[in-house]
């Protein structure tokens, strides 16, 4: 028995998302994407609902969800900043950039600032090696990131 | 020491499952030519040649996975180093399993594994029983060059808490999960999926973060879907998943193959021992009923054998209001013999009787009925099969000529369409359910006929094609309408019927069943099942390939139990589903030896082998051997004994391993019958409910403490082997012999094998059975005689035992137990996975964490009308009696139906059940009772009185020094 039980609203909303994909082949990932799009993360209470809809178990849904770093189990800050840590960006100073960001925000990787302004995450290659070091702010990639550009992002986020 | 011999079967782990292909392939492994079936893995082929390729993630109970990379080999003409577990053999292949290149790779792989594993082998619970340790030795690991910057096993690293460390999960009462020792080989996850079919485990995360997880993120082992079958624990190569008993005691030093004493699946187990202490029970891979699988009861719930409640000394008392007095065996037996003979002198030879046990061995059951027939001098013997599968014996006997299931359990691997009716295999017969679910995941179709939405209807990766949620008591109407569709739509197997049955008889039956009153449209009103669903299910069963029918007590425990069994037989015959693998009629037997108890002549009208006592030739066989004069008149059935007791003509009862007060219907009538007797003798492990009315208590022995055989639902005679001395002093068969001899019998058995020899000498279907044969074969399915020296896995292959299969007209007659304004709901009963029958054993184990009380399932609509909330006490009343228990609100039951289990004596569901019974066999109608449910404050007055009486009856005086 899962300890977390979905509230009626959440269960209905998740069940509705599952129903949208009922006919699809391999619907679990599209369902998880839609849940994350609607809720900003995948609430644990949604997992049994997805499991029931797909006639699988909570363990299996958890296994798939936790395999992909992009699926969150808790809400992110208002902005998500991903700094690329792949080889090209590291060669162009991404590690220093990351240290600056961590110090400025007072969080480690995957952390969210106290006021919920920014979540900092690592990412492994954005395909923007020509403009390294690269980062991604809420889905928007930015190239040739330096301390100043980063600061501008944080300032805009209200920090 | 003969009994401690384990049949000599190789327990080597072959790495991957055997291929079922018939084509043979020859290859060369390390210079040796090997011939194996096509599709065999290179790993298994090597093992066949006696060459063990090192491995971690492979085991022969699971499909190859190819993740550990330890089993790499070189194959001439192929690039790289393929994993031998996932590489199938090919003709002419040349394999090198121990080349310098693969040896180096293996050592490197092992070094990486060990860099994230604690080096605490000496204090580890798997020390000496660890495949990681074995493989480190096998690859010659001498040094670990890597020091993990990050690891999973240190609680603290560099003075700080290690964020990757996950503490041990001890939530399951029987095993612990220690992530620190996990090598993430996925064997546990795959065992849960492939073997058990529960899918409670997963690998969470990816890469170095991968960890085994029970359920979702915040679950632990107990909170997850885990059913504690132990498959993951058996599959784990390290101490990660480990039995708590091994952690506490240490590794076993010897093992004995024996048979589980719970349900009718009859799983073979290895009792792993240290001294005379059971360290653990592990399913035996060569067990033909279970094929290496187990459930929570057989695997873990054996602690009752050493529970403090167990009575170890005989006790007597003159009247049941006195406290018990502990006495010597001699005194107890003499007291009993004197009393019984005294009763017979005063009230006649037929004034006493006995009840044999479906929990005891064949040999013990045989001796009890021999005691009654030869020593008591009457046929007043009955058994608990009366209250469960007596209609199976009657119905299948009439239709096919044999009172038993037609298949072995392996047959399910070949089935295409399964009907499960009146059975809940995932709870009642879990190991069979796992095998069925495996077949369903492979594509077989399922039709469930049950008032309740059982787990098989829809659970992870399986879904019934049709669930027909009938009203309790309408089995015959539903089966008749299915047959109606098959006959009227011309879907029957004419060739089979013409060849194997009597065509004219079928024509009569067809005329009967074609009548419009049997059409699904006509029966829908009675049964509550939509006509379309019945039509589709009938077409699926008739045309879907190999069709098998599995049924349980939901079929037999009705006023039309025998009729339903015959309807099932009709359905199987008309669709030609008999006499080959994948088909058949398969009763799922409730108790470990209910088949055996029936075979051994426990019924008042039948001598061993289902031969009527009125037959002088059969009586003669026994009379000559026993020096007796068997009464030609059938004796009393259990309900008749109780009636006669109330009337004052039946005065003494010997009850071996049965708790009739709790398990038989209409508790008040049973207690009145018992209270009216002068001498009730209870032979059991515990002071059960029946013992409250007993004058003599003879402490029984457990299945671990005696030799014998059990016969499971597939007619398989399995050996039970003694692994320790009886704590009570005697095995049950010895106690029966003591009593018989005190009454002048002069028996001289020294071992149960002599009893089996006597059974074989007198009973044609057992003619070739002997302990020597069982030692050699492990098990054998009866009939086992001249005609079938190796036993009979599948029955009725070329013809029915009775000649031609018989179609019997099955008219639906509604039970007299009807709902009305006062009792508008129908109560039906069943069981739950973690508890067994009356719970005498499982309630005395940690299994109570899953089910500590009986609850009443109520549909939300019925609950709302009555103002009942989830978890609230409710009063459950029928025409017979009333009790109280807590309600659980669920739509698993249909509106108008309520459901409960009968595992706990303080609920006493059988106070409610009526004394209606099967027309042919008196099997009680447990499954249908008209009831009313109302909110209540707690236990009823009756329950409180009962509890007080039970406490009063169980007082034991200290033994006189």
d(CA B553, CA B869): 30
ipTM of the complex: 0.90
Residues of B in contact with A69 (CB under 8 A): 206
- CB count within 10 Å of CB B31 equals 9
Domain boundary residue, one of B538, B558, B587? B587
Interface of B with A in 206-225 (CB under 8 A): 206, 213-219, 223-225
Please enumerate in sequence order all residues whose Cβ is within 8 A of that of B898, keeping only pairs 6 or more positions apart, or say none: B825, B826, B827, B828, B856, B857, B858, B859, B862, B876, B931, B933
Q: If pLDDT is split at 50, 70 and 90, which confidence band does A5 have? A: low
Q: Angle B479-B481-B482 (CA atoms, 0-180°, nearest 5)?
A: 65
pLDDT of B800 reads 87
The confidence score (pLDDT) of residue B959 equals: 60
Q: What's the CA gap between B310 and B697, in Å, rounded?
A: 12
What gap in Å lies between CA B706 and CA B722, rounded to an integer? 4
Task: Using a CB–CB cutoff of 8 Å, tell me whether B28 touches chain A.
Answer: no
- Return the CATH number at A132: 3.40.30.10
For residue B805, being part of any structural domain is answered with no
Residue A72 lies in a domain: no
Specify the number of domains making up chain A.
2
Instruction: Point out the domain boundary residue: B553, B587, B621.
Output: B587
Contact B381, B602 (CB under 8 A): yes
Considering the domain architecture, whether residues A88 and A124 belong to the same structural domain is answered as: yes
Give the single-character DSSP code of B805. B
- Residues B915, B916, B918: CA angle, nearest 5 degrees: 125
Q: Do B204 and A61 touch (CB under 8 A)?
A: no
Q: Which two tokens stand for residue B371?
A: 């005691």
Contacting residues of A for B199, CB less than 8 Å apart: 56-57, 59-60
CA–CA dist B699, B309 (Å, integer): 11
The residue of chain A nearest to residue B217, with distances taken between CA atoms, is A62
Provide the percentage of residues in chain A whose pLDDT is more than 70: 96
- The full 3-state SS of B645-712, as one line of letters, equals HHHCCCCEEEEECCCHHHHCCCHHHHHHHHHCCCEEEEEECCCCCHHHHCCEEEECCCHHHCCEEEEC
Maximum Cα–Cα distance for chain A, whole Å?
A: 51
In three-state secondary structure terms, B555 is helix
The answer to whether A2 contacts B216, with C-beta atoms less than 8 Å apart, is yes
Residue B267 lies in a domain: yes
Q: Would you give the distance in Å from CA B662 to the centre of its chain?
A: 20
Domain-ending residue, one of A20, A41, A67: A67
What are B570's two structure tokens?
Answer: 């009709």
Range(s) of the domain holding residue B527: 403-587
pLDDT of residue A6: 60
Report in angstroms the alpha-carbon separations of B156 from B146, B162, B191, B207, B435. Answer: 19, 5, 32, 22, 44
Co-location of A86 and A137 in the same domain: yes
Residue B129 falls inside a structural domain: no
Same domain, A88 and A45: no
Answer yes or no: do A98 and A147 share one domain: yes
Chain A within 8 Å of B850 (Cβ-Cβ)?
no
Please identify among residues 539-558 of chain B the ones whose CB lies closer than 8 Å to any CB of chain A.
Answer: none
Looking at the structure, tell me whether residues A95 and A138 fall in a common domain: yes
B461 to chain A, any CB pair closer than 8 A? The answer is yes
One domain, residues A88 and A63: no
pLDDT recorded at residue A2:
39
| B217 and B276 together in one domain | yes
Same domain, A55 and A111: no
Cα dihedral: B942, B947, B948, B953 (round 10)? 120
Kindly give, in sequence order, each residue whose CB lies less than 8 Å from that of residue A90, ignoring residues fewer than 6 positions away. none
Residues A106 and A58 in one domain: no
Considering the domain architecture, whether residues B649 and B739 belong to the same structural domain is answered as yes
Cα separations in angstroms, B696 against B339, B343, B368? 10, 15, 16
Angstroms from A109 CA to nearest CA on chain B: 13
Q: How many whole angstroms separate alpha carbon B100 and alpha carbon B86? A: 21
Kindly report, residue by residue over A68-124, the tens digit of the pLDDT. 989 999 999 999 999 999 999 999 999 999 999 999 999 999 999 999 999 999 999
> Is A74 among the domain residues?
no
Choose the mutation target among A45, A59, A69 for the interface with B, i.e. most B CBs under 10 Å. Answer: A59
Give the tokens for residue B299: 């695997």
Residue list for the binding site of A for [2Fe-2S] cluster: 84, 89, 125, 129
Neighbours of B33 (CB within 10 A): 9
Binding site members of A = 84, 89, 125, 129
What pLDDT score was predicted for residue B5? 44
Residues in chain A: 159
Token pair for B663: 């398990």
Taking an 8 Å cut-off on Cβ atoms, the answer to whether B202 and A59 are in contact is: yes
How high is the pLDDT of residue B916? 85
My answer on whether B642 and B707 are in the same domain is: yes
Residues A122, A99 within the same domain: yes
Mean pLDDT per 10-residue section of chain B, whose length is 961 residues: 49 92 95 96 95 95 95 96 96 96 96 94 94 95 87 90 93 96 96 96 94 91 94 96 95 93 93 93 94 94 92 94 94 96 95 93 96 95 86 90 90 96 94 96 96 94 96 94 96 94 93 95 94 97 96 90 94 95 92 91 92 93 92 92 94 93 84 95 93 95 95 94 94 96 95 95 93 92 90 88 89 86 91 84 89 91 94 91 91 92 79 83 86 88 85 80 47
The total domain count for chain B is 4
For A145, the token pair is 């990131």
Domain limits at A149?
Answer: 79-156
Q: How far is A68 from chain B (nearest CA, A)?
A: 7
Are residues A85 and A146 both part of a single domain? yes
Residues B172 and B297 in one domain: yes
Q: Is B873 helix (H, G, I), strand (E, B) or coil?
A: strand
Match 């007659």 to its residue by tokens. B813
By three-state DSSP, how is residue B186 classified? coil
Tell me whether residue B599 is in a domain.
Answer: yes
- Note whether A87 and A43 are same-domain residues: no
């Amino acid at each position: 028995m899962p300890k977390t039980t979905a509230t009626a609203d959440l269960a209905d909303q998740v069940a509705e998302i599952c129903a949208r994909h009922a006919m699809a082949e391999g619907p679990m990932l599209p369902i998880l994407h839609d849940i994350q799009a609607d809720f900003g993360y995948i609430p644990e209470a949604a997992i049994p609902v997805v499991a029931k809809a797909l006639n699988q178990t909570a363990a299996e849904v958890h296994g798939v969800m936790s395999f992909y770093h992009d699926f969150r189990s808790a809400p992110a800050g208002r902005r998500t900043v991903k700094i690329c840590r792949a080889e090209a960006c590291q060669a162009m100073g991404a590690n220093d950039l990351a240290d600056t960001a961590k110090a400025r925000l007072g969080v480690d990787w995957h952390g969210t600032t106290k006021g919920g302004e920014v979540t900092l995450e690592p990412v492994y290659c954005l395909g923007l090696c020509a403009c390294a070091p690269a980062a991604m702010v809420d889905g928007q990639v930015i190239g040739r990131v330096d301390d100043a550009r980063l600061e501008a992002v944080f300032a805009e986020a209200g920090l | 020491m003969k009994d401690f011999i384990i049949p000599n079967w190789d327990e080597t782990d072959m790495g991957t499952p055997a291929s079922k292909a018939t084509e043979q392939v020859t290859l060369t492994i390390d210079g040796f030519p090997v011939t194996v079936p096509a599709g065999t893995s290179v790993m298994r082929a090597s093992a066949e040649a006696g060459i063990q390729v090192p491995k971690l993630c492979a085991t022969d109970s699971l499909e190859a996975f190819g993740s550990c990379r330890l089993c790499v080999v070189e194959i001439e003409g192929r690039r790289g180093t393929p994993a031998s577990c996932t590489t199938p053999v090919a003709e002419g292949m040349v394999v090198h399993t121990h080349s310098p290149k693969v040896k180096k790779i293996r050592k490197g792989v092992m070094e990486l594994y060990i860099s994230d594993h604690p080096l605490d082998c000496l204090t580890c619970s798997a020390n000496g029983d660890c495949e990681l340790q074995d493989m480190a030795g096998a690859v010659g690991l001498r040094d670990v060059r890597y020091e993990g910057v990050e690891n999973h096993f240190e609680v603290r690293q560099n003075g700080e808490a290690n964020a990757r460390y996950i503490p041990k999960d001890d939530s399951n009462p029987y095993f612990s999960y220690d992530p620190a020792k996990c090598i993430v080989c996925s064997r546990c996850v795959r065992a849960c999926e492939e073997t058990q079919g529960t899918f409670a485990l997963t690998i969470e995360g990816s890469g170095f973060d991968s960890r085994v997880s029970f359920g979702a993120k915040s679950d632990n082992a107990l909170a997850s879907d885990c059913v504690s079958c132990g498959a993951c624990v058996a599959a784990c190569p390290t101490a990660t998943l480990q039995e708590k008993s091994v952690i506490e005691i240490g590794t076993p030093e010897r093992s004995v193959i024996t048979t589980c004493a719970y349900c009718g699946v009859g799983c073979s187990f290895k009792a792993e021992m240290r001294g005379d202490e059971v360290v653990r029970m592990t399913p035996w891979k060569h067990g033909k009923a279970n094929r290496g699988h187990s459930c929570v009861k057989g695997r873990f719930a054996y602690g009752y054998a050493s529970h403090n409640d167990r009575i170890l000394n005989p006790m007597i008392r003159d009247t049941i209001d006195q406290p018990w007095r502990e006495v010597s065996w001699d005194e107890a037996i003499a007291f009993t013999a004197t009393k019984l003979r005294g009763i017979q002198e005063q009230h006649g030879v037929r004034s006493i009787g006995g009840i044999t046990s479906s929990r005891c061995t064949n040999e013990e059951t045989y001796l009890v009925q021999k005691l009654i027939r030869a020593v008591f001098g009457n046929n007043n013997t009955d058994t608990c099969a009366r209250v469960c599968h007596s209609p199976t014996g009657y119905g299948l006997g009439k239709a096919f000529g044999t009172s038993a299931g037609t298949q072995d359990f392996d047959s399910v691997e070949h089935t295409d369409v399964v009907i499960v009716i009146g059975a809940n295999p995932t709870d009642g017969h879990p190991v069979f359910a796992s095998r069925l679910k495996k077949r369903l995941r492979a594509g077989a179709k399922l039709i469930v006929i049950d008032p309740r939405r059982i787990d098989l209807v829809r659970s992870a990766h399986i879904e019934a094609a049709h669930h027909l949620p009938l009203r309790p008591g309408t089995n015959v109407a539903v089966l008749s309408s299915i047959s109606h569709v098959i006959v009227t739509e011309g879907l029957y197997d004419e060739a089979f019927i013409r060849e194997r049955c009597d065509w004219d008889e079928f024509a009569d039956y067809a005329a009967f069943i074609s009548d419009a009153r049997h059409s699904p449209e006509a029966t829908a009103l009675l049964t509550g099942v939509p006509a379309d669903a019945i039509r589709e299910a009938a077409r699926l069963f008739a045309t879907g390939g190999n069709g098998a029918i599995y049924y349980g007590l939901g079929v037999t425990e009705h006023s039309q139990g025998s009729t339903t069994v015959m309807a099932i037989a009709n359905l199987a015959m008309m669709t030609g589903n008999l006499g080959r693998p994948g088909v058949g009629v398969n009763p799922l037997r409730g108790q470990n030896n209910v088949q055996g108890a029936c075979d051994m002549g426990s019924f008042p009208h039948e001598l061993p082998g289902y031969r009527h006592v009125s037959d002088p030739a059969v009586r003669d066989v026994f009379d000559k051997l026993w020096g007796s004069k068997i009464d030609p008149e059938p004796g009393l059935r259990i309900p008749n004994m109780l009636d006669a007791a109330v009337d004052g003509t039946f005065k003494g009862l010997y009850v071996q391993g049965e708790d009739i007060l709790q398990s038989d219907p209409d508790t008040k009538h049973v207690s009145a019958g018992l209270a009216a007797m002068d001498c009730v003798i209870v032979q059991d492990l515990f002071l059960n409910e029946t013992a409250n009315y007993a004058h003599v208590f003879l402490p029984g022995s457990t299945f671990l403490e005696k030799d014998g055989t059990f016969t499971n639902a597939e007619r398989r005679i399995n050996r039970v082997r003694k692994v320790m001395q009886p704590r009570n002093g005697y095995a049950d068969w010895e106690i029966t012999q003591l009593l018989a001899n005190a009454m002048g019998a002069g028996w001289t058995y020294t071992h149960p094998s002599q009893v089996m020899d006597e059974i074989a000498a007198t009973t044609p279907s057992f003619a070739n059975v002997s302990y020597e044969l069982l030692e050699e074969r492990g098990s054998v399915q009866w009939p086992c005689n001249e005609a079938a020296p190796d036993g009979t896995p599948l029955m009725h292959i070329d013809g029915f035992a009775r000649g031609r299969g018989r179609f019997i007209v099955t008219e639906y007659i509604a039970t007299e137990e009807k709902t009305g304004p006062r009792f508008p709901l129908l109560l039906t009963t069943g069981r739950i996975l973690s508890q067994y029958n009356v719970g005498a054993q499982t309630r005395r184990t940690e299994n109570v964490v899953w089910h500590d009380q009986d609850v009443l399932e109520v549909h939300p609509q019925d609950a709302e009308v009555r103002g009942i909330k989830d978890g609230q006490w409710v009063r459950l009343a029928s025409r017979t009696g009333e009790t109280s228990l807590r309600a659980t609100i669920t739509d698993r039951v249909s509106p108008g139906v309520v459901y409960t289990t009968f595992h706990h004596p303080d609920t006493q569901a059988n106070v409610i059940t009526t004394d209606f019974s099967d027309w042919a066999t008196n099997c009680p109608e447990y499954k249908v009772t008209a009831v009313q449910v109302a909110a209540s404050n707690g236990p009823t007055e009756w329950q409180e009185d009962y509890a007080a009486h039970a406490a009063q009856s169980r007082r034991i005086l200290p033994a006189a020094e």
